[in-house]
Structure 1
Amino acid sequence: MSIKRIEPGSRMSQAVIFENMVYLAGQVGTPAASIEEQTKSILDKIDRLLAESGTSKSNVLKAEIWLSDMKHFNEMNAVWDAWIDPANPPARACGESKLATPDFDVEIMITAAKV
């Protein structure tokens, strides 16, 4: 069994594939942009990484979302709801947390299957 790493760096890989599972690192968007722009940027990165990993948003099993402040919940969800495959919604958690810098208001981590 081999492990494939996508965009590996000294600290982390952006995606790791093991067997039929794809694990994405937490993705952040354009710093200091609006919550909608950050979320859209993140989801574009997720689409790209999932495609490179041989899967798609239809195969997302779990999403973990962190917001810098829960006041962003509705705005983030408006972008999320337009992106997610409504026939295949993942299990999901969303909470408030300090993020890496004050310029980030949302971070999303995805686990998906390759089918």
Structure 2
Amino acid sequence: MSQVVIHNKIVYLSGQIDGSAEDITGQTQNVLAKVDQYLAEAGTDKSKLLTSTIWLQDITRDFGAMNEVWNAWIDPKNKPVRATTEASLASPKYLVEIQVTASLE
């Protein structure tokens, strides 16, 4: 599995997870830091996001806190389309997974 694929000036990031924090706030911050890192390595940044998909282990419990972190992180002038849903993730320790697509231009 690739973490990043670039095709026709579009950057595709696979679903990013991080189980090192025990709460949704910490995990979301850690995952978004990974997203920033991969976007930078690909030659773009969050201001060029096109789409995002977010999976939460428990959407009822964690949506508000995740969304606070997301809103603080996202470029307010360039918000991507986003879908957020509840899903069983690869391990119970993972509370959030985030996938994004961004432009290189």
Q: Do the two structures share a fold, i.e. TM-score over 0.5?
A: yes
Quote the residue 1:34 is aligned against: 23
What is the alpha-carbon distance in structure 1 between the residues aligned to residue 21 and residue 52 of structure 2? 23
Q: Which runs of 5+ in 2 are unaligned?
A: none
What is the alpha-carbon distance in structure 1 between the residues aligned to residue 101 and residue 16 of structure 2? 12
Moved over 4 A (4+): none
Q: How many residues are treated as equivalent by the alignment?
A: 104
- Tell me, what secondary structure is at the counterpart of 1:109? strand
Length-normalised TM-score, structure 2: 0.96
AA aligned to 1:24 is L
Q: Percent identity?
A: 50
Indicate the structure with greater strand content: 1
Question: Bigger radius of gyration, 1 or 2?
Answer: 1
Q: Is the 8 A contact 1:62 1:110 kept in 2?
A: yes
2:48 is equivalent to residue 45 of structure 1: no
2:52 is equivalent to residue 67 of structure 1: no
Tell which has more relative contact order, 1 or 2 (C-alpha 8 A, sep 6+).
2
